[in-house]
Structure 1
Amino acid sequence: RAEKAEQEIDALTSELSRAVGLGGRNRRASSASERARQSISKTIKSVVERIAQSDARLGDIFARCIKTGNFCSYQPDPALPIAWELDASEPAEHPTSSSEPTSAHADNPQGSPAVLEVSPFSFAERTAFVGRESERSTIRAAIDRALSGNGSVVMVGGGPGVGKTRLAIEMAESASRVGFRFLVGHCYEGDEPVPFLPFAEILESGLAQAASRDDFRRRMWANAPELAQIAPSLRRVFPDIPQPLELPPAQKRRYLFQSVSEGLANASRTRPYVLILEDLHWADELTLSLLIHLANRVAHLPVVIIGTYRSGYSENNPALVRTLEELIRMGIRPLKLGGLSKDATAQMLLELSQRQDVPDSLVSLIFEESQGYPFFVEEVYRHLIEEGKVFDAAGQFRADVEIDEIDVPENVRLIIGRRLEWLDENEKRALTAAAVIGRNFSFKLLNAICEIDVDGLFTIVEKAQRMGIIVASTKGLARPFIFTHELVRQTLLAGISAPRRQHLHAGVADAIARLYPDAVNERAGDIAHHLIKAGSFVDGDRSIV
């Protein structure tokens, strides 16, 4: 025991000697972890000092809130709250001198909120942007005209996943490279839409990007009382904004709209703008009315307004229908996006596979499944990879890739499922029966297996056409309807149980035999297909095998 105690004393003596220097001072720098800690602390302090040289206010925030010691941490200063705002564009230009403020709140007094910019777009890595040559050309021409002071409105419609937002982003970023600033405002799904919400986001983003608070005040102050009605958060930054004029409702609205257009004109005097209004199918009537007002006034401003909306949702927003009609009367025809071509889909898959040559069979399979919708292309490809269906053990593309009938990626199912929520139970039941028939189907056969009267079934089919779920087929009168996407059909099938699918398949086989007694041989393949899908199904006293 004495020998063991002596060894422990020697070890402790050695550690204490290494850790303590002359006069008992700490000598921890000899530790590798301590050297790393000191190096990180020094680097952080150096970076904060460099930030302060470019932006004294931001440097002060970091100096107060970033703590270095045994642990590095960020501790918000209770005396300096930060209000996060959306930044809808690139950062403001760097100042020419270190003393010049670079943000709308660079000159805030102590204790007022600091506004830090946040990108409105996802930081996730984007897939390659392919195709859309015609649409890009149209929007690029609008941007070129705006450079010479002739602004315009561009409306972009299409189904979910077709790439409306991506097109708007790409064109806005392209415009920013030739001097434009772009701001984004969104509409959101809700029972009670917030009036002017996308314009409120645009105003808040414009404030965040302004060279200084005084610069924003100088450009917008004449219209500030009305602009603060749209974006009340402006009063938090400018408490001295006067109250708006007391006017009758009709005049008040007109004066408000006029103030917005004047503010836009003032902002665009020194720099052209691209404004993106996202998801207008969820917009309220006042937002759409303001859009019409601006569309009548941007012709002499260096401004391009890009509005995106989902086709097939118009019947749920009559105000959008009226807005589109009014814009068409003004000569503004919406760009209606469809799926990418097969060649563009192949190019997209080439980028997704990191420049590996994708077999034509796989390109065709994914193209047929997605109909060239970029979001669906990417999700189906990634889903097949996750399921181990794309590459063999040697890492080479398989030649025999297949997709199961109800094998729908979860993200795609969520998107399509939200769209199908616009249907009631009878409508879902009828379209599910159509999905069992196949990608193409006839009204006659659908009517034979649905327990819905003819007029009601016509109404359902017409609604599905307006929503873009089904379209006219090229198969002729025998199969006049086709599902827009195979993924929509599969999502409908995935929503019912296996026994119900078997029951419907058995009913389809029986209905084909009854409806086409003189063409049973010609339709033997269809009957056999549905009997195989039905499996062994007992219906009362009858068994179909």
Structure 2
Amino acid sequence: MKQQATILSAELSGFQALAESLPQDEISPLLGEIHALVEKTARLHQGKINRYTGDTFLVVFNASRKDHTGSVNAVNAAFELKDQLDSFIKDRKMDSSLTLKLGLATGDIIMGGFGKDEKTQETIMGEALVYANRICQFAGEGQILVDEKIREACKENIEFQVLEPIPIKGGETTLPIFELIVKKRKKLDLTKSSERKITSEMVGRIREAELIEGLIKNLVTAKGTVVNIVGKAGIGKSRLLAEIKEQPLFEGVVLLQGSASSIGKNLSYHPIISIFKSWAKITEDDSQSESAEKLEKEIRRVASAKVDEIYPFIATMMGLPLTGMHKERVDGIEGEALEKLILKNLRDLIVTSVKVTPLIIVIEDMHWADSSSITMLESLFKLSGSHRVMFINILRPGYKESGDYILKYLVDNLPGDHITINISPLANTESKELIDNLLQKARLPEEINEVIIKKTEGNPFFIEEVIRSFIDEGIVEIKDNHFRVTDKIHNAKIPETINDVILSRVDKLDEKTRELLNTASVIGRNFYYKVLEEATDTIEEMDERLEYLKDVQMISESKPKEEIEYLFKHALAQQLTYDSIIQQSRKDLHLKIARSIEKVFAENIQDYYGTLAYHYTKAENKEKTIHYLILAGDESMKSGASSEASSFYKDALNQMPESRKNN
């Protein structure tokens, strides 16, 4: 089939010399890593690998005769490939002259399958392929050379140098070629105001909101229930809760909120502890004794008659030190007996407190909860049937051992005391309403609206990210504090998936801001300023860059200035940013983060044993991994989380050499 395309033809210059210097068994894995890097970069820029042949490869970018999307994507991919290969070599400290030679051309190609049955391959022929290969042959090491069509398509954003035309068709004629010098990347405006932020009132979800509000009214006068808000990433689960929290009826209840962590499968009681820290106003800067004092004071406030019984066990669960009679109360109790007493006293605390004021406990990202928390919650959920306590669990489907398990447990054991609300995609009319709300008075052409609605499939976060990408690219501009749709809208490229639009936005950041965001993604969805600062000491204007990332709504600030904490606006943005980092760089960043945590939280290091074990595991530092896995296991045993302790110890054994296991 004949079509227009941009072809990127590349050669790994210097690979043959490098291969001769390496052991035979290292060549294939090295080439495999480079191929994976190329494939990820091509996919990010809507390209498709057509052919690998040792140290050469071809990437095809679909191009339209109406716009220059294929050429722009190919050029962006070429720049990215060069940067990624340079980082790949640097990260591995390779003494190598390995570099890329790239030739790009746009034109007609014929693409089709050749061969029979399973041997059929998608093969391309045509002018663009011939020219791209020819241009690549004339490229020097590290050069990106393009034809005139690509130069015309990209001249507003790229600086080119005119080179001598190259002979083609047996020397009968010549082909003008140009070298890409540098992107005319706009200087990052670190002083941008919040006028570029997009917001909308909640669209749809009226039935779901009214249902939860009715349950809260019943909580105030009678009893609680367990509410599960279930939906895919970006569908609007947290937004629904945020909207309800703004209602006046919340003024008559106590709201406690925590969340599970994406790295927290073995972080004992993580969501429960996060709730208690928030309740007692414990900060990361507090020493253990200060944290213990704050916890005891808060328990005394709501359960003064039982504080000496309840406090020692809650403090033990949180890993806080005990002294005097409180220590005596817990000494000698361990294993299952300790777990039961922690649970009993937690139940007593809740029952006592709700006699005065109704309580709502919210746990976000329940699908990431650790097994000790899940076991504890199974018992706590039962309180909602006879006391004024409501649990709201926010989770994604498809997590068999956590979220799905909880949903099944509630169906089997509390059929009359729970409700599950499945959040559906927005209807087409609701998606259109959301687009209009985000752009205020500006309006997109109807055909663009239709494409957005079709591709985003009613996912509000996807819709918001598409609109943000329009602002990033100047398709929508800000004039007199209002959005205005420019003529560029007619050439707008709507990404096929939510992953594509997020990664495209990340790719458009300047190098240092992207490096900062990458480092933050390795820390996790939530990241403390102090840890990020320690891990990125070479990045200038860090505060301004964080403000810019807040302004473009990639991150937000989640805690007050005294213990500044940020979080990615969406868990998916953190995960995709993390996944886009090449493996060696990711490994190095995990090592940096681990060392930063050790330094920043030296006084409360025991709170981070599990986190440090995770980062050192990812950094492939076996000694440190084993060290922190054992310490994390010990802390879990002390806090009554035997399931997590067992998991930490097993992981430590798996990391140990046989000689050490025997000792």
Bucket of the pairwise TM-score, normalised by the shorter protein: 0.3 to 0.5
Higher strand share: 2
Larger radius of gyration: 1
